[in-house]
Amino acid sequence: MSQAQATSLAGEDPNYLSREMRQAIEKGMYPRWKLCYQVMSEEEGYSKPQLAFDCTKIWPHAEHPLIEIGVIELNKFAQDYFTEVEQVAFSPAVVPPGISFSPDKLLQGRLMFYEVTQHHRLGPNFEQIPINKPKGVDPNTYSSSLFEGLQPNPAYLDPPMKTDGAADYYDMPGEGTDADYYAQSREFLKVLTPEDRQSLIGNLSAALHHVEDRVVTVALSHFNYIDPTFANAVRESILLLKSGKKVTPGTQVLKQFNQELSGNTKININSA
């Protein structure tokens, strides 16, 4: 959906997407998404932690192919919104046996405060609320106990986490550098279709032409680090919007931009 279509729908029919989804489910045309995952060995992860242990980074599909494991399908509605939706308590700390946690700093923090959040929101027994209560799982027991019960199984222990010294806060190698901040954005531009690039430029300029020039200057400086031609296309589109003209996001510049990313030509355009 383009920016223009979304803006029109927001004013004329703001419930369009919700209604469309509900009608599709009622007709048996269930919305479905392919579910895939990617794998990286622990050894490889520690050799390039900036990529492996930073959730803002994408793993290249060529190096870590998508492995399809099924589909996610929406095929029914909640019967009681409060008990089935409002009381759901998700936490990344709840995992099945055999899955553990990477040293990703964001994940490590969420392992702690998600549980605390649900405790505060729903009460100390939130895991006993029917929507959150595990099915077919024995309750926790103390070991060893006069009443017997479950025994620890070493096969389900978390794998040990590798350390090469004191366990403390540390910065990722290369964190804060141009390669860290802009490399993946540059790769992202290369995989977009020409139509998607034009939409991206149009959406960015539509948001930026409303703000102060000093903010635009900072944004364009970041875009310039990603790709100077991309930054120039956004700048041209912003100027068109400010002049009141119909926007054709940097038509000529966009054409050159697509040629550049296709490897047909090399263009250097100075930063703003």
pLDDT in tens, 246-262: 655 445 556 666 666 66
Based on DSSP, count helices (H) and strands (E) in the chain, helices before strands.
Answer: 11, 2
Question: Could you count the other beta carbons within 10 Å of the beta carbon of residue 94?
Answer: 13
The pLDDT assigned to 200 comes to 93
pLDDT band at residue 8 using 50, 70 and 90 as cut-offs = confident
Q: How far apart are CA 93 and CA 44, in angstroms?
A: 24
Q: How far apart are CA 184 and CA 234, in angstroms?
A: 19
Domain ranges of the chain: 10-77, 78-133, 180-261
pLDDT digit string (tens) for 109-145?
Answer: 999 899 899 999 999 999 899 999 888 766 555 666 7
Nearest to 236 by CA among 222, 225, 221, 252: 252
